[in-house]
A and B are shown apart, each in its own frame.
Chain A
Amino acid sequence: MTTVSNGVNVQALLDAREALKGAPEAAQFTWRASSRWQTGVHSTISVQNYFGLGQEQSHKEESVFEADHPETFAADDNGITPIEYLLVGLASCLSAGVASVAQNRGIKLNSVESTVEGHHDVRGILGADSDVRNGFNDIKVTFTIDADASKEEIEALVAQSQKRSAVFDALTNPTDVTVEVA
């Protein structure tokens, strides 16, 4: 196979897969975010530490995100809305998957762009109609990929990326969520 580089350290991922097959406890990760309410519907969320490979881990530096609602919701728009963060997560997860799978298959990527649209009937969150759900009705992701590969190979990259995506799974399958007051 010709060696191409999309900048993904696939060998490290393959090594990790082999190593973790026999060590399921080391594969247990906990991702964390901490939120502080500011005022109105504005909160500031920071992310730095997580747990994995059997011990506490840390990103190189803390990332801080502002979440608010836009003026159409009579808010100050200090940041994107929480549900938009789901789109951020989905787009970045699928793109990472496309790059990793492409590298593993020896496919050179020239550009990968995607747009993610979540269709949302806000009557649900407003309590205007009890038959309308709060979350997205559906989500559409459209990829535009320039790569040294056939159309079918590119479609297979996108399909495999969904098959191995944490965020795609989290959005398409139910997850048990506990919310409590400390």
Chain B
Amino acid sequence: MLERGEVANSWRTERWDSLRLLTPSWQTRLPGLRYDGTDPDGYMTAGEVTAFISRFAEVSRAPVRTGTNVTSVRRTDDGYRVTTGDGEIGCRALVIASGACNRPTVPPLSGGIPASVEQLTPFDYRDPAKLPDGGVLVVGASATGVQLAAELQRSGRPVTLAVGEHVRLPRMYRGRDVLWWMDASGVWDQRYDEVEDLTRARRLPSPQLAGTPERATLDLNALASLGVELVGRLAAVRDGRALFSGGLRNVFSLADLKLGRLLDTFDTWALESGAEADPPERFAPTRVPQTARLQLDLASGEFRSVLWATGFRPDYSWLDVPVLDAKGRLRHEGGVVDSPGLYALGLPVLRRRKSTFICGIEDDARAVIDHLRQNL
């Protein structure tokens, strides 16, 4: 097992200070290791996740070689040649477990942002003091965008949030964590070959969730109540002006309707399974602002910074094997990559909807390693 830095490196170095896991601690489990602290309904801090994964490295006695950065993987006659900062390794099979979030995605239109406005990605961000005082345009309303918008707004910086298609979730539903429902009702167990539109499922933005001690919902209504200004998807930057889509109402409708269908699924499952929970509930539709700004002048001084919460992508710059599609995505079938002996783990809906959650890795790893072993 090669690790470029220390065990749990990205949790040590690529997370902002206030970040907590989206999954409650009772749900954060790895084979042979469960949370045994005093707050199973809480959400681990980045430091606690680092400690948890480090403990797993010890418990599992995984042969981790830390400080070993992979710079190249090439196909050979009988396997792969791995070049590291610490020499070469030959292997017959190789599992890519480097994650889906190696690089923050920044759209090309960022090139038009005036130089007077500071630009940051979530990798640059640690806490609000990292940003200049004054207005912040946060672009993107998935988990990262809503969490940072709330934190920056609370710090006294007026936040405008550009909202495209998003996934709305309440933190709690019928008295239980919404991720309990995802797990218990079987939604998370839906397999990649059962999902109707797999490409779309794999591109789904992370849900509008935060792990906070208050277990509070952090949807767009909550952000609007904090004073965050909502605008449409950032469509263009022209002459120093940010132009936003006029389709905000519809992205609200799409997310509200999708949430309704998910809650229907939960309710149906609860009725059929007899699961114990509070009575069904429905949430108020996302409130449409009376007037959503369609453009704003980035050079006026109102905005001092732009935070790109526009997603992450994997980095395969070291992978010298032709297994990427035209869009740079790994070609794989449930983790079996399109090159003999090459495998992947930890990508969105790799084998199940829960593939990118910590509790989702066990089933995926067993299936992928079974395939690997049979083909060695």
Contacts and interface: CB of A to CB of B under 8 A. Distances in A.
Contacts of A138: 246
A159 B246 contact: no
Interface string B248-267: 00100110010011000000
Contact of A168 (B236, B238, B247): B247
A162 B235 contact: no
A172 B246 contact: yes
Contacts of B261: 152, 156
B30 interface: no
Given A172-B245, A174-B236, A155 B257 contact: yes
Interface string A71-115: 000000000000000000000000000000000000000000000
Given A152-B260, A152-B261, A155-B257, A174 B250 contact: no
Contacts of A174: 235-236, 238, 243
Given A174-B235, A174-B236, A155 B253 contact: yes
Contacts of B238: 174
| Interface SS of A by simple majority | helix
B250 A156 contact: no
| Interface SS of B by simple majority | mixed
Nearest to A160: B254
A17 B115 CA distance: 41
Interface in B33-82: none
A5 B293 CA distance: 41
Contacts of B243: 173-174
Contacts of A163: 165, 250, 254
B250 A162 contact: yes
Nearest to A138: B246
Interface string A137-171: 01000000000000010011011101100001101
Interface residues of B, number: 16
Interface in B218-277: 232-233, 235-236, 238, 243, 245-247, 250, 253-254, 257, 260-261
Interface residues of A, number: 15
A156 B247 contact: no
B24 to A, nearest CB: 29
Given A172-B245, A174-B243, A159 B253 contact: yes
Contact of B232 (A152, A155, A171, A172): A172
Contacts of B250: 159, 162-163, 168
Interface in B124-179: 165
Interface-centre pick from A152, A162, A163, A172 (highest chain B CB count, 10 A):
A172
Interface string B323-365: 0000000000000000000000000000000000000000000
Contact of A173 (B165, B246, B254, B260): B246
A158 B232 CA distance: 19
Contacts of B257: 152, 155-156, 159
A173 B247 contact: yes
A120 B182 CA distance: 46
Interface-centre pick from A156, A162, A163, A174 (highest chain B CB count, 10 A):
A174
Given A152-B260, A152-B261, A173 B245 contact: yes
27 contacts: A138-B246, A152-B260, A155-B253, A155-B257, A156-B257, A156-B261, A159-B253, A159-B254, A159-B257, A160-B254, A162-B250, A163-B165, A163-B254, A168-B247, A168-B250, A171-B246, A172-B232, A172-B246, A173-B233, A173-B235, A173-B243, A173-B245, A173-B246, A173-B247, A174-B235, A174-B236, A174-B243
- Per CB-CB distance, the 7 closest pairs between chain A and chain B, nearest first, are A172-B246, A172-B247, A173-B235, A162-B250, A159-B253, A174-B236, A174-B243
